[in-house]
Structures are given as C-alpha cells and as structure tokens.
Amino acid sequence: MPVRILPLLIFLFIAACGIADSSEPMSLPIPSAPDAPAFAPPAVACTPTPCNIGDGEVDHCPGNCLGGCGTQCARLTPGYATAVPSPSTVPTTAPGSGFAIYFIDVGQGDATLIVSSTGETLLVDGGRSKDRILDRLERLGIDDLDAIAMTHPDADHIAGLVEVLEMYPIEQVYLNGGQSDSQTFGDLLAGIAEERADVVTVTRGDFIALGDLAIEVLHPGPLSGDSNEDSIVMLVSCGLVDVLLTGDAETPSEDSMLAAGIIREVEVLKVGHHGSRTSTSQQFLDVVSPEVGVISAGEENQYGHPHIEVVDRLASAGVKILLTDTSATDDTLVFETDCQRYQFTDGNGVISRTPSPSEPGAPSPPVQSGPPDSPLVEMGVGTRSGEALRFDPFGSDRNCGDFTSWAEAQDFYEAAGGPGVDRHRLDADMNGIACESLAGAP
C-alpha cells in the first residue's frame, strides 16, 4: 500500500577507515508499495465454520471471522476470535535490499516502525499516549500502515494502537495469544473487531512476511501467563545486518531462547523492558553481543529506567547506548541499512554508523586512546567540540574540572547516556546541560 516516508539520507562508509562521506549517499529506496495488499491472505477455498458466540461478544462469524476464512471462533475475550496460525516455514521473498526501523519516541513506552525496502510497514506496539503516536507517525510522513503487532497486552505498549486502528486502515494484526482483563486491552480488541483485520497469533518458529523481509519470531513458545515474559521477540535480518526486538521480555524469556539455541549475534539490540534490571542478563548479552543497544524509556521516568546496572552491563560489553527520549522534543531514532552497512540518525543527523569489524569486507574502526586508566576503541568525536573524546564515558568518574570547555563536557555527558543517566553527575539541576559553570555554556 502506498506509504510516504520522509526522505532518508544514508552516507557511504570510506572502506579504509569506516568514516562516512556525506557527498556519497548510500541509497536505500523506500518507494511506495504497489496497490496490492502487502498482507493479502493466501487464496483458499472458503468454508466458514459457525461459531458459538456468548453474550457480549462481537459476532463476525461465520462470514467474517477475525481470524479469516474458515476460522473456528472461541470464547476468549469479548471481540476476540481464535486467530489463524501463521506459517511455520520461511515465506518466499525476494533477496533483501535494505530496510528501515524507526524507534519512536513515545515517552515511557514502546513503539517501533519497520519499513521494508518496497514500502510495506509494520508498527510494533504503539506506546501509552494515543495522541503522541499519531503525532510521531504524522511527523514521519506515514499516511498508511499495513500491519500492527502487539508484543504483549500492557498499556504502555498497546494504548496508542487503539487510536492507530481508528486512524489507519490495518490489514493484519499480530498477537501473542496472551489475555488481559484491562479496559485498554478490551478497547484494542474492539478496535480490531471493527477494523475486521486478519488476526494472526504468532509463536516461536513463525515468520512475518513484510515486503522482501522475513521477520522471524523467536518468542514466545508456550505461554507462561506472565505478560512481560510472554512478549513477542522478533529478529529482523537482511544480509549482514540483524536487529533483535525484545518487547518487555525478561530473564526467563531470555533463558528460554538461549536454551532453544535460537539466539545469535546481532548488530542492534532493542534492550528488553525499557532497560529494566529484570532483562538483559549477562548470559544473554554475551551471546547477542550487540554493537548498539536502543532503550525506549521516558526521560526521568518514575521507574528509573534504564537501570544503572543494565547501563553498566551494556557499557562493559562495549555496546553503544541510544535512548529514544532525552528531551522535550521528538527524539525518535532512525535506523537504516542496505543489508551490508547501517546507520542511526536522529533530528540532529548521524549519531552512529558502525559495521562489525568481524564481518567480511567491513572496515576496521579507528582506534582512539583515552587516558591510561581507560583505553577506548572508537570513543567517537564530539558533535559540539569537533574533537575526539579524551575520556571514556563509561570509565573512571569525571567532574567538570576535567574538561577544558563546556562543549567538551557536553559531548562527554551525552556519550555517557545524557539526561536520565548522568553517570558522572555533571548535570546538577537535571536540565540536560552539563557543567553550566564552564565557559561557553548556554
């Protein structure tokens, strides 16, 4: 279906050193998709099965069962029919040419938009605020969505989807099969029923076809009954690039996937449960070994996300941490890849582009040396000072007296996690500005 995405600019890496040349854009086409539905169900003979509908349930059967042609309805939650199981084999797709993922700033919550190279769209969760998700999608130029996925029924993941269903024609809805007695979940199911979208319950081993992408479902297996632990976990892969989206999956979920032998190294990890200490165990992190960790958590949220032990664990593993909400403005992160290289951008431009040096043909990152007690590999270059960082953001504690200018201090502060983290306590009044006593501070 047609979708207009704001122009995306991706820079080529210079093979010798891994630095992008802004004059040579890496083209990742995100054209409008053809008019044919992106998630059209397979052509099968329609033999609807009559359903026993109880009081309060919405009768879409036998003619228009939520799960599609021939689905047997069952009494689960009002307005929710038994879903058609998704294919257990890898869908046939054309070779991938790239994809984009928008880690949307919805405050304390989760919303992630996946866009295939041919323009098909899948919105995974919608955050808590109905107004905020619509504002963010409008800013991105999204006027159509093909499908939505609910990782689990918590309000900070699904409340925004209620409004999305009202504003966009949705063809397919992916659920994990979990239930909730909350009003928000009931409203979502009512919206799905009114939309008459195809409902698909996904489980481990299933794949979601999105244009030329085959998104693998790694979790849940059998449902545990715990909302977070039953979160849908998705692996988006293309060529040399893998992105793992974990919802609110917690340590038991991670252990289950590790035991099943389905976890592998990825380039980007959507850190579980907003960076809570209940997720991202050391054992799990050792296996996924990401280069970048994206944390979706509200600025100065009441839960203290991301928890400092998770931040330290990621930092010790050399993971670059990116946050989706660091200011009062829209801090949505944009990930783009051509299946060989990738980069992240935000409203201020490119913030990370690091292909793994272990991959064939990938450039080796430059090496910067910090002070004797904190050697660093690719500490980076400050966006304000234009100078390489002199200190390891996750090394020894620093104070404002260590910096020669406010620009240097601010670069260091942001590299260490910025607002909401402030590991070195450089922002006494928590206004997002470090070391305001230094020359040059605003």
CA 172, 173, 175, 181 dihedral sign is negative
Spatial separation of the C-alpha atoms in residues 415 and 334, rounded to whole Å: 18
Higher pLDDT, 180 or 385: 180
Distances (CA, A) of 242 to 84, 173, 214, 311, 313: 28, 23, 12, 21, 21
CA-based R_g, the chain, Å:
22
Spatial separation of the C-alpha atoms in residues 103 and 309, rounded to whole Å: 23
| 334-370 burial code (b ≥16 CB/10 A, e <16) | bbbbbbbbbbbbbeeebbbbbbbeeeeebbebeebeb
DSSP letters of 90-104?
A: PPP-PPP--EEEEE-
Sheet containing strand 342-346, strands side by side: 84-85, 198-201, 172-175, 147-149, 121-124, 112-116, 99-103, 333-337, 342-346, 349-352
Supply the pTM of this predicted model: 0.64
215 Rama class: left (phi>0) / alpha (psi -120 to 50) / beta: beta
Spatial separation of the C-alpha atoms in residues 18 and 9, rounded to whole Å: 17
Higher pLDDT, 440 or 34: 440
78-98 mean pLDDT: 45
pLDDT at residue 384 tops 80 = no
Query: Strand locations in 279-348, DSSP E?
Result: 292-295, 320-323, 333-337, 342-346
Higher pLDDT, 284 or 413: 284
CATH architecture group of domain 11-32+64-351: 4-Layer Sandwich (3.60)
Higher pLDDT, 157 or 371: 157
Residues 276 and 251: beta-carbon distance below 8 Å = no
Confidence of residue 12 (pLDDT cuts 50, 70, 90): very low
Higher pLDDT, 383 or 319: 319
Spatial separation of the C-alpha atoms in residues 257 and 219, rounded to whole Å: 7
CB-neighbour burial class of residue 180 (10 A; exposed 0-12, middle 13-18, buried 19+)? middle
CB-neighbour burial class of residue 141 (10 A; exposed 0-12, middle 13-18, buried 19+)? exposed
User: Could you report the per-residue pLDDT of 314-338, keeping only the tens digit for each?
Assistant: 988 989 999 998 888 888 999 999 9
Domain ranges of the chain: 11-32+64-351, 367-442
User: Could you report the per-residue pLDDT of 361-375, keeping only the tens digit for each?
Assistant: 444 333 332 333 333
Angle among Cα 305, 307, 310 to the nearest 5 degrees reads: 125
User: Could you report the per-residue pLDDT of 224-265, keeping only the tens digit for each?
Assistant: 998 889 999 999 999 999 999 999 888 999 999 999 999 999
Chain centroid offset of residue 21 CA:
27
Distance separating the N- and C-terminal Cα atoms of the chain: 46
Confidence of residue 281 (pLDDT cuts 50, 70, 90): very high
